[in-house]
Amino acid sequence: MYFLICFMRPLYLSFMNVRLVRIFSTCLIFLNPLTITAQDTLAHIDPSKPTNFYDRMTNSLEYNLSGKNKRTYGYRGNLVWASSNQHHSAHLEVPLLYATSSEKFGLGDLRFRYYWVPYKDYSKKPGAFGFAFDSYLPTGSYKSGLGRGRWIASTGLSTAFVFGKFSAYPIVSYLYSSEVTEASKGTQGAEELHGYMIQSIFVYKFNKKSYVDCTPSFMKNSYSNAGKDDLVLEGNYLYMIKPNKMQIGCFFRRYFYGDATTLRASMRIYF
């Protein structure tokens, strides 16, 4: 009996090893498609299209030059919430600025934006259609040079046209600016203003990591030019240094008739 046990034991161990290998191999066969599926669900996000919404936080260093002597610089935070179905997004901008004219530091004008895009199919023309709302709250001190001293709101319609790496996003909006109550009597452009804004965001996507956008705008009865018309040009360059997580970039804006320029260097984090 002892001899039989000694003879059978190696055969049994060999059989068990073969069985374990087969079980392990079978598990790998079934788990491998699951792993690939999990990786595929982590699709590369595409923030080059303004009608694509993602939760994110943008931290910017900002410099503003208005006229000859009015300068402000500081920090601007921009927090974005996006719905899971990609139809809604809300944006809140919080500027903390230093005004050289008054040597005062404080909160600038808060900015709140909301977008609703119920239709989106980039394979068609147009590729998206939605509603846009943009506003500035007079939280910054007008006398200290940290704010405009008025409520500003615009509401309008947006659409999208995508042609491969190039895309365009026209927006037509009604523009309202309240009276500047802190302004001296007779200040030009301090009265309540009603106008409109026509703009289009043009985007060129270099690759999955980087893109540039340019936004020319025409503003009728603009708050930026004492109630007169103004032409505005904005530009962004953004580069994804960590896929789906982090971007760095720069921003430029120029009010041509209002004689104001803004420069920013930014880092954007996606959640």
pLDDT tens-digit readout, 12-48: 444 444 444 454 444 444 444 444 333 334 577 999 9
Other CB atoms within a 10 A radius of the CB of residue 124 amount to 12
142, 145, 156 from 64: Cα distances, Å: 15, 11, 27
76, 113, 121, 215 from 211: Cα distances, Å: 22, 23, 21, 14
pLDDT tens-digit readout, 95-132: 999 999 999 999 999 999 999 999 999 999 999 999 99
Other CB atoms within a 10 A radius of the CB of residue 193 amount to 21
* Residue 107 confidence (pLDDT): 98
Task: Provide CB contacts within 8 A for 54, sequence distance 6+.
Answer: 45, 47, 80, 82, 270, 271
pLDDT tens-digit readout, 3-12: 434 444 444 4
* Residue 265 confidence (pLDDT): 98
pTM score, two decimals? 0.82
pLDDT tens-digit readout, 157-199: 999 999 999 999 999 999 999 999 888 877 888 999 999 999 9
Task: Provide CB contacts within 8 A for 205, sequence distance 6+.
Answer: 48, 165, 166, 167, 211
Instruction: Look up tokens 């340019």; give the residue.
Output: 214
The predicted model gives 222-243 an average pLDDT of 94
* Mean pLDDT estimate for the chain: 87
Percent of the chain with pLDDT over 70: 85
